[in-house]
Structure 1
Amino acid sequence: MAGQTWDRVPIDAQSIEAPLSSSAVFLVLCVADGPSPLSTVRSVLDGLDDLIKTVGFRDLGAKLSCIVGIGANLWDRLDASKRPAELKPFASITGTAHNAPSTPGDMLFHIRAERADFCFELEKLLLTTLGDAVRVVDEVSGFRYFDARDLLGFVDGTANPAGRDIPTSALVGDEDGDFAGGSYVVVQKYLHDLAAWNAVDTAKQEAIIGRTKVDNIEIDDDAAPRKSHKSLATIVDADGTEHDILRDNMPFGSPGRGEYGTYFIGYSRHLWVVESMLQRMFVGEPAGAYDRLLDFSTAHTGTTFFAPSRATMAKLAQEPS
């Protein structure tokens, strides 16, 4: 697979191999029309590593990293000749009780570090450099909550692939050779009704999530009348092969505004895997038996991007001849 080595964890889809961090910024932008904004975007893509170094050298232990995702419309503007095979705008989902909206976004900057001030500083530099070439659609600052728990009190991300399993799950391979080493990225911002959730007893919460709350043990709910969130989010194809994605979800919130949420971000080798997961959650399996977690967590955004390999991003950064 392009951009991959086996003596260390994969080195493409930019910094996808960076460990889960204590702080993150999720920045979604739309790019203005016209050739000048495109030139500015190309310049930022070309100089991103230098911007990261400008901030990150001050404390290498902060492990600052940034992944860039590009939406279908912007991709076509940057390179009309070919796009990744599955790249397309996020398709909204209408369920019997809950909906997954599709919201705009041309660029995603997923900034991670062990220090919140490093995330802040890199975001500031990016937006200053991009200027009026972009407008901010969504901006969320996430944080690690205790032992990697979400604000609902459960450990999040337990099923993530690790080590050599990451490229198989999260990086495009020979099936789309021109874009090998890249990754499909889906983001959604969920807001929680904590008052309603906290009114539910722990046993029912565990049945909804599919794991125990205190010690994070997976619950076998194959015989249960209603599938848990864990089971609905598990994708197995017709051949019996399970397909994983790499999640880097982060809690966010503002108690003063009564805002409590989870920012979902999933990196996948195949976009259809994330789409299938969301269909099962919002429509149900069988239809109507939707993910009961959605009774307490509402999706407010939904956007799809492709994070190119470093080599592909360098090509996108070049002005057309």
Structure 2
Amino acid sequence: MPASQAVPPTQSVLSPLTASALFLVVTVDDGGEEAVRELLADLAGLERSVGFGYPGGGLSCVAGIGSAAWDRLFDGPRPAALHPFTELAGPRHHAVATPGDLLFHLRATRQDLCFALAALIMERLRDAVTVVDETPGFSYYDNRDLLGFVDGSENPVGLAAADAVVVGDEDPDFAGGAYVITQKYLHDLAAWNALPVETQELIVGRRKFDNVELDQPGSHVDLNTITDPDGTEREILRDNMPFGRPGSGEFGTYFIGYARTPEVTERMLRNMFLGSGPTSHDRILDFSTPVTGSLFFAPAAGFLEDPPGPPAKGAGADAPPERSPGG
């Protein structure tokens, strides 16, 4: 059965792209689990409180939970495909895995609404979590990244988006949820902008001016096109945002990809970092370096509002903690 039919309401993973975003990643401190559970149950109410007076603001917040934190927060089963982010060491480039127990992906037409909701979240979690990354994002020109290319134009829409992103019958306990992978990339814009536009286009696999896709084997677009043996193309939903601090020489893209299974995004990353066929790596990585990497599960909205109970005291005490490298 397609995920778009007869599944619990999702969080706002399918919300349209917005002009502003804020990506907040934290780890849960020892003893902070109950504060986190209470915050997650109240998150929808906090979102309504901030957004109610600004109906055109498009405020939304998706909460994702990492593998290491899941068993600390909830009793019972866990999402079937939830695991730590897989670190990838390629011949030239490295996809790092970094700590991340919770992701809050805030979106709105205005940055102040993201700021206000994040402030309320942190007011509740201040003594329960440690912030490991906080990145505000913005829309740049006509939805371009800082490399100058349109980003996200191949996102699925409508029912196709729901079927690509939302868990269905394959994991009925977690139907309505979605997996999300995040990476924060820093760009060497001086080196990139020194390339001729024609070379940039061959690396990306699109024309820069009009966004027309090129038939260019080994390009970024080609390596991120995932096709099953039966010819079915597998899709994810990207909500990438530029970020930066010109005064500090920081320019980047925050990659965030939602999918029904993390396998699709992971195949894309393996192609990029480990190569595919005669292509040793995605040449865009010669100019863009990931400094974070995390995997989360964003449960259905009802799961957060009425979650299972906390794990029994001492449950899993004999098992080693499931932490990603560095965490």
Q: TM-score, normalised by structure 1?
A: 0.93
- 1:94 deviates by 0.3
Q: Does 1:151 align with 2:146?
A: yes
Report the 3-state secondary structure (helix = DSSP H, G, I; strand = E; otherwise coil) of the residue aligned with 2:13.
Answer: coil
Q: Does 1:81 align with 2:76?
A: yes
Report the 3-state secondary structure (helix = DSSP H, G, I; strand = E; otherwise coil) of the residue aligned with 1:185.
Answer: strand
Q: Partner residue of 1:243?
A: 234
d(CA) in 1 for partners of 2:148, 2:170: 39
Q: Does 1:104 align with 2:99?
A: yes
Match among 254, 266, 277 for residue 245 of structure 2 = 254
Match among 281, 286, 289 for residue 295 of structure 1 = 286
Q: Do 1:95 and 1:288's aligned partners in 2 also have CA atoms closer than 8 Å?
A: no
Where does 1:185-196 land on structure 2 (aligned, <5 Å)?
A: 185-196=180-191
Match among 172, 177, 180 for residue 175 of structure 2 = 180
Q: Does 1:17 align with 2:14?
A: yes
Q: Partner residue of 1:273?
A: 264
Report the 3-state secondary structure (helix = DSSP H, G, I; strand = E; otherwise coil) of the residue aligned with 1:174.
Answer: coil
Q: Does 1:125 align with 2:120?
A: yes
- Segments of 5+ residues of structure 2 without an aligned counterpart are 313-327
Q: Are the structure 2 counterparts of residues 287 and 71 from structure 1 closer, same or farther at C-alpha, using a change threshold of 3 Å?
A: farther
Q: Do 1:27 and 1:140's aligned partners in 2 also have CA atoms closer than 8 Å?
A: yes
Q: Do 1:45 and 1:317's aligned partners in 2 also have CA atoms closer than 8 Å?
A: no
Q: Do 1:160 and 1:247's aligned partners in 2 also have CA atoms closer than 8 Å?
A: yes
Q: Partner residue of 1:208?
A: 203
- 1:82 deviates by 1.3
Query: CA offsets per residue over residues 178-233 of structure 1, 9 Å max, x none?
Result: 111110000000000000000000001000000000000000124xxxx1000101
- 1:104 deviates by 0.4
Report the 3-state secondary structure (helix = DSSP H, G, I; strand = E; otherwise coil) of the residue aligned with 2:135.
Answer: strand
Q: Which amino acid aligns with 1:270?
A: T
d(CA) in 2 for partners of 1:28, 1:60: 27
d(CA) in 2 for partners of 1:122, 1:315: 21
- 1:42 deviates by 1.0
Report the 3-state secondary structure (helix = DSSP H, G, I; strand = E; otherwise coil) of the residue aligned with 2:38.
Answer: helix
Q: Partner residue of 2:300?
A: 309
Report the 3-state secondary structure (helix = DSSP H, G, I; strand = E; otherwise coil) of the residue aligned with 1:231.
Answer: helix
Query: CA offsets per residue over residues 219-258 of structure 1, 9 Å max, x none?
Result: 0124xxxx10001011112222110000000000000000
Query: CA offsets per residue over residues 37-59 of structure 1, 9 Å max, x none?
Result: 11111111111111111110121
Report the 3-state secondary structure (helix = DSSP H, G, I; strand = E; otherwise coil) of the residue aligned with 1:312.
Answer: helix
Query: CA offsets per residue over residues 76-101 of structure 1, 9 Å max, x none?
Result: 11224211111000010000000000
Q: Are the structure 2 counterparts of residues 50 and 3 from structure 1 closer, same or farther at C-alpha, using a change threshold of 3 Å?
A: farther
Q: Which amino acid aligns with 1:263?
A: Y
Q: Partner residue of 2:325?
A: none
292-301 vs 158-167, greater mean Cα deviation: 158-167
d(CA) in 2 for partners of 1:98, 1:132: 37
Q: TM-score, normalised by structure 2?
A: 0.92
Q: Which amino acid aligns with 1:221?
A: Q
Q: Do 1:11 and 1:17's aligned partners in 2 also have CA atoms closer than 8 Å?
A: no
Q: Do 1:65 and 1:111's aligned partners in 2 also have CA atoms closer than 8 Å?
A: yes
Q: Do 2:89 and 2:274's aligned partners in 1 also have CA atoms closer than 8 Å?
A: yes
Q: Which amino acid aligns with 2:289?
A: T
- 1:149 deviates by 0.1
Q: Do 1:184 and 1:269's aligned partners in 2 also have CA atoms closer than 8 Å?
A: yes
Q: Partner residue of 2:30?
A: 33
- The alignment-based identity, stated in percent, is 53
Q: Which amino acid aligns with 1:162?
A: V
Report the 3-state secondary structure (helix = DSSP H, G, I; strand = E; otherwise coil) of the residue aligned with 2:56.
Answer: helix
Aligned residues: 312
d(CA) in 2 for partners of 1:181, 1:250: 24
Q: Partner residue of 2:223?
A: 232
Q: Partner residue of 2:255?
A: 264
Q: Do 2:223 and 2:272's aligned partners in 1 also have CA atoms closer than 8 Å?
A: yes
- 1:312 deviates by 2.1
Q: Which amino acid aligns with 1:247?
A: R
Q: Which amino acid aligns with 1:76?
A: D
Q: Do 2:4 and 2:163's aligned partners in 1 also have CA atoms closer than 8 Å?
A: no
Q: Are the structure 2 counterparts of residues 2 and 200 from structure 1 closer, same or farther at C-alpha, using a change threshold of 3 Å?
A: closer
d(CA) in 1 for partners of 2:53, 2:165: 30
d(CA) in 2 for partners of 1:298, 1:65: 29
Q: Are the structure 2 counterparts of residues 302 and 99 from structure 1 closer, same or farther at C-alpha, using a change threshold of 3 Å?
A: same
